[in-house]
Structure 1
Amino acid sequence: MKPDIHPEYRQVVFHDTSCDAYFVVGSTLKTDQTIEYQGKTYPYYNLDVSSQSHPYYTGEQRTTKNQGRVAKFKNKFKGTFG
């Protein structure tokens, strides 16, 4: 491999602001912000969504309302689909 062409790989603190969760993950992300986390200073990056807050991973997916589009469809084709 050629020297001095690869980005620096280091531990970075990611902060999911929607559920106030912190993660320390190895990354090549470039950021000027730092944070003191568990007695060490790390580079810091804000996230809007992570596995801690995303509905797919938490199992809290949205459900449609009974009076919504699905209910209207079922009422319209009541005899067709059983």
Structure 2
Amino acid sequence: MRPGIHPVSRPVVFRDRASGFQLLTRSTIDAQHTVEWEDGATYPVVDVEISSAGHPFCTSTSRVVDTAGRVERFERRYGTAAARR
């Protein structure tokens, strides 16, 4: 690898604003704010709108769409494929 062309990777805390979930990982993103982590060290923090801790799909709180009702409504409105032939 050529020196001087790759971005600097450093530890960064990503914090979910909705649920308060925090994740310490490495990133190349720049952050203006800092937070003290559990180990006592201070790391840059990036606030995100949603993470796996608050996303409905990951927390199993997502809604199931009634596709059967939609199909029946479509068939009533436009008829079935067999009736159009």
TM-score class normalised by the smaller sequence: 0.7 to 0.9
> In percent, how many aligned pairs have the same letter?
33
Q: Distance in 2 between matches of 1:58 and 1:4?
A: 42
Which runs of structure 2 are paired with 1:1-82 in the superposition (5 Å)? 1-38=1-38, 39-63=40-64, 71=69, 74=72
- 1:46-72 deviations in Å (ceiling 9; x for gaps): 0111111111111110345x8xx9757
For structure 2, the 5+ residue unaligned runs are 81-85
Unaligned stretches of 5+ in structure 1? none
Aligned residues: 76
Note the C-alpha offset of 1:5. Answer: 1.6
How big is the shift at 1:9? Answer: 0.6
- What is the CA-CA distance between 1:28 and the residue it aligns to? 0.8
Letter in 2 for 1:46: D
Distance 1:63 1:33 in 2: 39
State TM-score, norm by structure 1.
Answer: 0.73
